[in-house]
Structure 1
Amino acid sequence: MKELIETIVKPLVDFPEDVLVNVAEESDRITYKLNVNKSDMGKVIGKQGRVAKAIRTVVYAAGSTQQKKVFLEIVE
């Protein structure tokens, strides 16, 4: 899943080397925390959050096979 997020986000940003995905796993959920360069934040979020919503939709669909709930946070 971490590789999927990186594959989606890296082509969108100007600084792909700054893309970092951290995983926090709890008993009933898995949270992926996406960090990007501050200047790329707008590209990842998109107008009215459309790009972020699309990324979350793909990640949630891919994570639906797991027993735990999947969340994606975009961290500044």
Structure 2
Amino acid sequence: MITRIAGGDPSCSNGNCPTVYVDDQAPDTVIIQGNNLDPVSTSAIGDIPAHEGLLRVPRELIISAYEQLTKAPA
């Protein structure tokens, strides 16, 4: 099951972004939903493999997700 652990901005069109999720089938990973980077930012980073992406998320969202992850059972 995929569970939201942080985020959900009410100003977002569907109230569900940016958001951080965990997946109980892949406990060593975190899923981050957010706005795609603009082409200038993406090109400044360099080559990104086609199967990967870059997301810009608010710092506070990462802190909130960290707080939830440290509470979660291992």
TM-score by length of 1: 0.39
Structure number with the bigger relative contact order (C-alpha 8 A, sep ≥ 6) is 1
Between structure 1 and structure 2, the one with the greater Rg is 2
TM-score by length of 2: 0.40
Q: Which structure features the higher share of helix residues? A: 1
